[in-house]
Amino acid sequence: MSVTASVEERIQQIRTEVAGLHAELVRYGLVAWTAGNISGRVPGTEFFVIKPSGVGYDDLTAGNMILCTLDGSPVPGTPGAGLAPSSDTAAHAYVYRHMPDVGGVVHTHSPYATAWAARGESVPCVLTAMADEFGGEIPVGPFAVIGDDSIGRGIVSTLAGHRSRAVLMRNHGPFTVGRDARDAVKAAVMLEDVARTVHLSRQLGEPVPLDPADIDSLFHRYQNVYGQPAGPAPAPPAAPPQPAASTPAPTTSRSA
């Protein structure tokens, strides 16, 4: 593969980012053994990077991430190309082809979100955190076989016209998307958190739904106002002035 130095730099950056982000899935208890995967689109190219199939999380490195074209084919002669890519590669590729604003895709089997998927039930929007992050309920996608682009088709059709960055694929588990891989990982973490909380609330009774107007308001505030403004970080405060050093008094003691 012949690419410019600039593209090669971007590929290496996404390799490093995607490899490192897999540790976050383990950290937040979203995966077991080798299940789950993260991919990241290489900006300005027709490539994305995804983890290899069946490789332990402790063994994932930038060098064994697999560079793929947007049809899901590994790029020959690149690092990791000798390994089989994730079994969900075709699904990720389909999402990238049909959702051009998506820069990252994550799949986990996180317990609470997957439990909702097993029931084929959407998570209702009953928390401000859900309104903030997802702009409504977490929808359920259709059951789809693993290994071809059927899952990708289900993700795209379910999220079409929906503000949610997460979908529960029925009898399988959650998939999340984001503007980049890190954003998609954040969505996966937040999805599991709200899926757990809503499940717990149901043990106490029926959760109270949020008013649609309040959901809109919360979503707009979080997406457009929350957090630090864009731009350079503010300069750190100046160190307080130090007192002038005093002249030590003469001493007659001997050095030890």
* φ and ψ of 254, to 5 deg: -85, 155
Where helices occur in the chain by DSSP H, the ranges are 5-27, 89-98, 111-119, 128-134, 150-159, 181-204, 212-224
Residue 130, token pair as written in the block: 């859900």
Q: Please, what's the b/e burial string for 159-177 (b: 16 or more CB within 10 A of its CB; e: otherwise)?
A: beeeebbbbbbbebbbbbb
Residue with tokens 């986990």: 108
Name the helix (H) or strand (E) containing 68.
Answer: strand 66-69
C-alpha span between 130 and 3 (Å, rounded): 41
Angle formed at CA 156 by CA 191 and CA 194, multiple of 5 degrees: 10
* Strand, coil or helix: 249: coil
Q: Is 226 a catalytic residue?
A: yes
Marked catalytic residue, from 58, 59, 101, 226: 226
Marked catalytic residue, from 88, 132, 149, 193: 132
Dihedral in degrees, nearest 10, Cα atoms 61, 64, 65, 66: 180
Residue 237, token pair as written in the block: 């405060």
Residue with tokens 């990238």: 96
Helix axes 150-159, 89-98, angle to 10 degrees: 40
Q: Is 96 a catalytic residue?
A: no
Catalytic residues: 132, 226
